[in-house]
Amino acid sequence: MSPIAVGGPALFIGSDTPCVALVRPMIDPAQPAVKEAAERAGVTPEEFAGPSDQWQLIADRTDGEGREIALNELSDDAAGAFAERLLAAIADPEAEFTEVLTVAAHDVLRIDGRPAGEGFAFLASVVPPPSEGTPLLEVEIGPSSIADLRAELEQFRRSLG
């Protein structure tokens, strides 16, 4: 399901666009900013690079509207718990459900799932922190098969260690 390679743990709901993604990318030693920071730190870019501890929430709609939110206070454990809850929710192919990702007492992502054919369709509501001053973004995500969703969620959990 993952349309792009981010190097670190990544959970994609939807394939291509529209989708929402929860990612913790790898730091690329080839990026100029990484080279500069490594030089300041007195190490090689390769020593400086590696897994980031900065989670990001990315949302993309087919109309070009999107959001990218840094989730400074999201832990791997909280990201894994969100994936666990989604995995439990899709276990019943007849059920509608709502799962919320909360970071620092702020709900940043709400996923509403509903049965659609052999899988689920979703409405993802991305809520930027009030300090950003940007409005809620809703992303309609078409049907995804239960098998694909389960595989994506299980891969994400494994990638967290």
pLDDT at 53 (0 to 100): 74
Does the residue 76 lie in any domain?
yes
Is pLDDT of 5 > 50? no
Q: Where are the beta strands (DSSP E) in the chain?
A: 10-13, 19-23, 26-27, 50-51, 55-60, 66-71, 97-103, 106-116, 119-126, 137-145
The predicted-structure confidence for 86-140, as pLDDT tens digits, reads as follows: 999 999 999 999 999 999 889 999 999 999 998 999 999 999 888 778 889 999 9
Structure tokens, 18: 């529209």
Does the residue 81 lie in any domain?
yes
Structure tokens, 119: 């899988």
CATH number at residue 62: 2.30.31
Higher pLDDT, 50 or 66: 66
Q: Name the one residue in this structure whose structure tokens are 């276990």.
A: 91
The band of 151, judged by pLDDT with boundaries at 50, 70 and 90, is: very high
The number of folded domains in the chain is 1
The predicted-structure confidence for 43-54, as pLDDT tens digits, reads as follows: 888 776 666 678
Taking the whole predicted model, whether its pTM rises above 0.95 is answered as no
Q: Which residue range forms the structural domain that includes residue 15?
A: 10-159
pLDDT at 48 (0 to 100): 67
Does the residue 3 lie in any domain?
no
Closest listed residue to residue 75, CA positions, set 9, 134, 158, 136: 9
Mean pLDDT of the chain: 87
